A and B are shown apart, each in its own frame.
Chain A
Amino acid sequence: GNSVTQMEGPVTLSEEAFLTINCTYTATGYPSLFWYVQYPGEGLQLLLKATKADDKGSNKGFEATYRKETTSFHLEKGSVQVSDSAVYFCALMNYGGSQGNLIFGKGTKLSVKP
């Protein structure tokens, strides 16, 4: 079946540090991959996505590259800010038939200290 595994948190970094949150997936076919972010007290928001292999999604300084050979979609940011503190969810969608639902990882909580 389809599943997403992401690194367990919490992750605590100092401001301006480099961020990597690992995400790997298991899926049949060619899924689309997503990162969602949930800021404190808010709903989930789409951060970035990639719909085919080797695509790079980017937004707000975050990047993730769809690596089919390693079935990964790791989230990176070169210099985090306090305002990036949130829970980050990796997700996949295998579109076709009845599979067009988002499947999420467990989430990784990021805390950035000034």
Chain B
Amino acid sequence: GAGVSQSPSNKVTEKGKDVELRCDPISGHTALYWYRQRLGQGLEFLIYFQGNSAPDKSGLPSDRFSAERTGESVSTLTIQRTQQEDSAVYLCASSLERGPYYGYTFGSGTRLTVV
């Protein structure tokens, strides 16, 4: 597609439930990133995928968080047993390759509210 698409745009869930967030990157973009933006905070890096290489999971805050991506297609971020501190906007970005010379295109995000 023309841009990075994320769904759902808004999600309200009860504490303890699992949620799954989806990201459709731009076709042909090998690099895909997930970030989290909590209220009043900057963007926190969560996880990075590059083609078929092992993902960089160094930013995942706990083992309740996981993400998958098959090849260069859709990615899903799963949060198990959600907690109130998980409430945030989750942003996905993609780029042709990793590195400062390639533009990163961000989606509009999924606003997650845990009640």
Contact between chains at A44 and B98 (CB < 8 Å): no
> In the complex, what residues of B have CB within 8 A of residue A46's CB?
103-104
What residues make up the interface of B, taking CB atoms closer than 8 Å to A?
3-4, 33, 35, 40-43, 45, 48, 56, 58-59, 91, 93, 98-101, 103-109
Take A49-B100, A51-B100, A101-B33 as given contacts and tell me if A44 and B91 are in contact as well, using a CB distance cutoff of 8 Å.
yes
Nearest chain B residue, comparing its CB with the CB of A34: B100
Q: Tell me the nearest residue of chain A to B47, going by C-beta.
A: A101
A51-B107 in contact (CB<8A): no
Q: Is the CB of B108 within 8 A of A104?
A: no
Let me know if B43 and A43 touch, CB within 8 A: no
A-B contact count (CB 8 A): 57
Which of A13-21, A67-75, A92-100 is the contact stretch? A92-100
Given A49-B100, A95-B99, A101-B56, CB of A44 within 8 Å of CB of B106: yes
Contact size range, A: 20 to 34
Given A4-B42, A51-B101, A100-B48, 9 extra CB contacts under 8 A: A32-B100, A41-B108, A43-B108, A45-B106, A46-B103, A93-B100, A95-B98, A101-B33, A107-B42
Residue contact A102 to B101, C-beta cutoff 8 Å: no
Neighbouring B residues of A104 by C-beta, 8 Å = 35, 42-43
Chain B residues with CB below 8 A from A100, complex form: 48, 98-100
